[in-house]
Structures are given as structure tokens and as C-alpha cells.
């Protein structure tokens, strides 16, 4: 049986025998892998050369899109794969951003890599701490309806907003934490808004790859099994609580990374980045892009951030109305998301059938 790093890390902790995910015969496997990853490679190459062709405001827009793509994909570990409707994912995003900013401004830690690792560790600890109470109300034993989990996670996010508002000396209160500089990589390269694009591209690409490996490992398949039928997974001997709990921590950790990148990007962090509005936006990104497609939230992020940008140019005061209109259209008319539509189109064009 294949042993991937992620299975060694996670699978061994909690696993019983799992059927291996379907793989092609060895010979055609490399080719199939190449074909499957071709679109991602093309997009990566395009993004690498993009800054040579577009003005700087488009470049900074794409930076923001990439950050929100990571944010959306990290949430989709829970919602799309685990079927866990968290309404406090923005808490991790904002918390990661605040930790990043506080470490730089109050902690004096300038090095980007040290900062990033600390942010990941601290947001993972937050996830570990919040996950224990949160999963008491969600799961087979507690309730079949996700509403209480939704409310608990919403309350966590709003509680963190209140903490950020009142801990004024550390977080800058309700006006937020400002003056976060561009990161210092510690290798003598100074980062400005132009080169920050490439840093974000690198980090987001690595994170997306890692998350892809996680959701397509045995661990990820078990998570999908829990989504489909948790009782059956329990009957098969899986500790479903541990799977859900760890997925909450992993999603929170990557959400924290996105928040950290966002803190460097904007230079500020405000309490509402952890609250209900931000959670609503990331949920919209995931639903719009398709929760059932791995790269769905990336598409969702491109659309939402793009429309946000257009709105901020032409009618900045009316953004909530535009967002509500998008939400209504998506939820009422394309609940499966744009990603599924695009994937069907892709398969029709390149494989002759919309399988």
C-alpha cells in the first residue's frame, strides 16, 4: 500500500484498513498525472509571467485573488470534503493575520519564515482549542442538524472580534492593527508590492499542493466517507471524531496562513476580518466556485475578488448590494457552483463526454 507523507503523519494515528484510492496502471500513470496537472502547470506559468504584461494594480488584484483562493480552499477541506458547515472560518483568517502583525510589531520578529511557522503553530493551537468544544455539538451522537455547530463557530468568531476590540494595546482596538511592513525574507532580497506577488504565488501554490495531497490521501478519502455517511464510517472502525477534529485544525492552519499573507498584503488588520461578514464572503467563494471541485474555491475567489474590485472602482458604496445579488443568484440558481459547470465544459471539450 502506498505510504505518502501525509498518511504517515495522519493516517497512522487513526486508521484502520482503507481501500486505496483508484489508480491507473503503472505505465500510463505518469502520463495521466501529467495530463491531470497540465492545466494547473499552465496557470502557474501564466501567473509567473503575468507581471511583465499587466499594470501594477492588476498585479495587486491577482495577489489578493490568490490569498482568497487559499482562504477558500482551506475552508473547503471542512465544507466540501468533510461536510462540516463551519461559520467561523474567518476567525482563523483574521486570527492568523493578527498573530502575524502582533509578532512583527510587538514581538519584533522580522523574519518572514519564522513568522509564518509561528502563525501556523498558533492558529493550529487555536483550532485544537476551539475544536474540542465545537465538535461536542456536532456529529452522530449530538445532532443530525448542523445548526448548533454553525452557531458555535459563529459565536467563536464574534467572540474573537470582541477580544480584538477590547485588547486595544495589543490589537489597536476597533480601528485595527496597522503599519505591518512587507516581509523580510532574511536572504537580503527586499520585498515590495511587485516581488510580494511572487512570494504569495509561491506560498499559495505550495499550500494548494499540500492541501491537494491531504484531501486525496487515505485521510481525505476517509473524510469524504464521513461526509457521505458518518455512521457507516464508525461501523467500519474509524474514529470519526478525530478525523473531523484534525480536519478542523488543518483547515484553520491554512486559513491562518491566508490571513498572514493578507496582513502583509494590506498592511492592516481590523476586527471585522474575523467576523460574520468575512465568513459570509468565504462561504460565498466556496459555494460559487463549487464545494465539490478541488479548484472550485479558486474560481470563486477570482470572481468574488474581481467583482469586489470592479465595484470598488465604479460604485464602492453599493458593494453589499452587489454581493447580496451574487449570493441570491448563486444559491437560488446555480447551487452546484460555477466550478462544476466549468469542469463539465472542460470534459466535453477534451474528453468528448461530460462524465
Sign of CA dihedral 178, 181, 185, 187: negative
Cα 301 from Cα 307, distance rounded (Å): 10
Asked if 245 interacts with other proteins (CB under 8 A), we say no
User: Where does this chain touch other proteins (CB under 8 A) — which range of 25-33, 97-105, 134-142, 347-355?
Assistant: 134-142
Buried b (16+ CB within 10 A) or exposed e, 317-347: eeeeeebeebbeebeeeeeebbbbebbeeee
Q: Please pick, from the candidates 48, 159, 210, 242, the single residue that binds other proteins as defined by CB under 8 A.
A: 159
Binding mask 317-336 for other proteins (x = CB under 8 A): xxxxx-xxx-xx--xx--x-
Q: Count of alpha carbons within 13 Å of 27, Cβ hemisphere only?
A: 0
Binding to other proteins, residues 284-313 (CB under 8 A):
284, 287
Q: Please pick, from the candidates 152, 226, 251, 257, the single residue that binds other proteins as defined by CB under 8 A.
A: 152
Q: Please pick, from the candidates 9, 45, 142, 345, the single residue that binds other proteins as defined by CB under 8 A.
A: 142
Which of left, alpha, beta for 149 (phi over 0: left; psi -120 to 50: alpha)? alpha
**Contact (Cβ atoms closer than 8 angstroms) between residue 77 and residue 251:** yes
Q: Please pick, from the candidates 23, 30, 151, 206, the single residue that binds other proteins as defined by CB under 8 A.
A: 151
User: Where does this chain touch other proteins (CB under 8 A) — which range of 24-32, 154-162, 197-205, 296-304?
Assistant: 154-162
**Contact (Cβ atoms closer than 8 angstroms) between residue 193 and residue 56:** yes
Asked if 93 interacts with other proteins (CB under 8 A), we say no
SS3 state of residue 184: strand
* Gyration radius (Cα) of the chain, Å: 20
Binding site for other proteins (CB under 8 A): 79, 85, 87, 133, 136-137, 142-148, 150-152, 154-156, 158-159, 162-163, 165-166, 275-277, 279-280, 283-284, 287, 317-321, 323-325, 327-328, 331-332, 335
Amino acid at each position: 500500500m502506498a505510504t505518502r507523507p501525509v498518511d504517515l503523519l495522519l493516517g497512522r494515528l487513526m486508521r484502520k484498513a482503507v481501500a486505496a484510492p483508484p489508480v491507473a496502471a503503472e505505465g500510463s500513470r505518469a502520463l495521466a498525472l501529467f495530463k491531470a496537472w497540465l492545466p494547473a502547470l499552465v496557470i502557474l506559468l501564466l501567473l509567473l509571467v503575468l507581471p511583465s504584461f499587466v499594470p501594477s494594480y492588476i498585479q495587486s488584484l491577482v495577489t489578493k485573488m490568490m490569498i482568497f483562493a487559499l482562504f477558500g480552499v482551506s475552508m473547503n477541506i471542512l465544507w466540501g470534503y468533510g461536510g462540516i458547515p463551519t461559520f467561523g472560518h474567518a476567525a482563523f483568517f483574521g486570527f492568523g493575520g493578527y498573530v502575524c502583525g502582533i509578532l512583527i510589531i510587538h514581538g519584533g520578529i522580522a523574519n518572514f519564515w519564522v513568522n509564518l511557522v509561528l502563525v501556523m503553530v498558533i492558529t493550529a493551537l487555536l483550532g485544537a482549542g476551539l475544536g474540542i468544544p465545537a465538535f461536542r455539538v456536532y456529529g452522530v451522537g449530538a445532532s443530525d442538524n448542523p445548526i448548533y455547530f454553525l452557531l458555535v463557530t459563529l459565536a467563536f468568531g464574534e467572540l474573537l472580534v470582541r477580544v480584538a476590540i477590547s485588547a486595544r494595546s495589543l490589537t489597536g482596538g476597533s480601528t485595527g492593527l496597522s503599519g505591518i511592513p512587507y516581509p523580510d525574507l532574511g536572504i537580503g532580497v527586499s520585498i515590495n508590492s511587485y516581488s510580494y506577488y511572487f512570494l504569495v504565488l509561491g506560498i499559495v501554490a505550495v499550500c494548494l499542493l499540500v492541501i491537494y495531497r491531504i484531501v486525496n490521501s487515505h485521510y481525505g478519502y476517509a473524510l469524504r466517507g464521513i461526509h457521505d455517511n458518518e455512521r457507516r464510517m464508525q461501523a467500519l472502525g474509524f474514529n470519526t471524531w478525530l478525523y473531523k477534529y484534525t480536519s478542523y485544525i488543518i483547515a484553520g492552519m491554512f486559513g491562518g496562513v491566508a490571513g498572514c499573507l493578507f496582513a502583509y498584503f494590506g498592511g492592516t488588520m481590523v476586527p471585522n476580518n474575523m467576523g460574520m461578514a468575512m465568513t459570509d464572503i468565504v462561504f460565498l467563494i466556496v459555494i460559487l466556485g463549487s464545494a465539490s471541485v478541488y479548484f472550485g474555491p479558486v474560481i470563486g475567489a477570482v470572481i468574488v475578488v474581481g467583482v469586489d474590485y470592479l465595484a470598488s472602482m465604479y460604485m464602492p458604496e453599493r458593494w453589499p448590494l452587489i454581493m447580496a445579488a451574487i449570493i441570491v443568484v448563486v444559491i437560488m440558481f446555480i447551487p452546484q457552483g460555477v466550478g462544476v459547470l466549468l469542469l463539465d465544459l472542460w470534459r466535453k471539450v477534451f474528453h468528448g463526454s461530460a462524465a
